Amino acid sequence: MVAATSDSHESHIVEVMHGIYLSARQIKGPQGSPKDRLSHFERDVTKRGRGVWMQLHDMLRTQLIEAVDEGTQELKVSMQALLETLSQKLDTQCSGKEVEGKDEAELREKLQKALVLAKEKLACEVRPAAVKCFGSLM
Tens digits of per-residue pLDDT, 52-84?
888 888 999 999 999 999 999 999 889 989 988
Domain of residue 89 covers 72-138
CA distance 7 to 29: 31
> pLDDT band for position 19 (50/70/90)?
confident
Number of domains forming the structure of the chain: 1
Question: Which among 20, 72, 76 has a CA at the least distance from the CA of 43?
Answer: 20
CA 78 to chain centre: 14
Round to whole Å and give the CA distance between 65 and 9: 23
Confidence band (pLDDT; 50, 70, 90) for 97? low
Is residue 89 a part of any domain in this protein? yes
Is position 47 within any domain? no
Give the DSSP H or E segment for 123. none
83 within some domain: yes
Residue 135 is assigned to a structural domain of this protein = yes
Residues 86, 80: Cα–Cα separation, whole Å: 10
- Distance between CA 138 and CA 122 in Å, rounded? 16
108 lies in some domain:
yes
Question: Distance (Å, rounded) from C-alpha 51 to C-alpha 41?
Answer: 12
CA dihedral in degrees (58, 63, 66, 72; nearest 10)? -110
Mean pLDDT score across all residues of the chain: 82
Q: How far apart are CA 53 and CA 48, in angstroms?
A: 8
Establish if 26 belongs to a structural domain. Answer: no
Least confident of 5-19, 44-58, 86-100, 105-119: 86-100
Please indicate whether residue 128 or residue 61 has the higher confidence score (pLDDT).
61
pLDDT at 5 over 60: no
Picking from 117, 137, 116, 119, the residue whose alpha carbon sits closest to that of residue 128 is 137
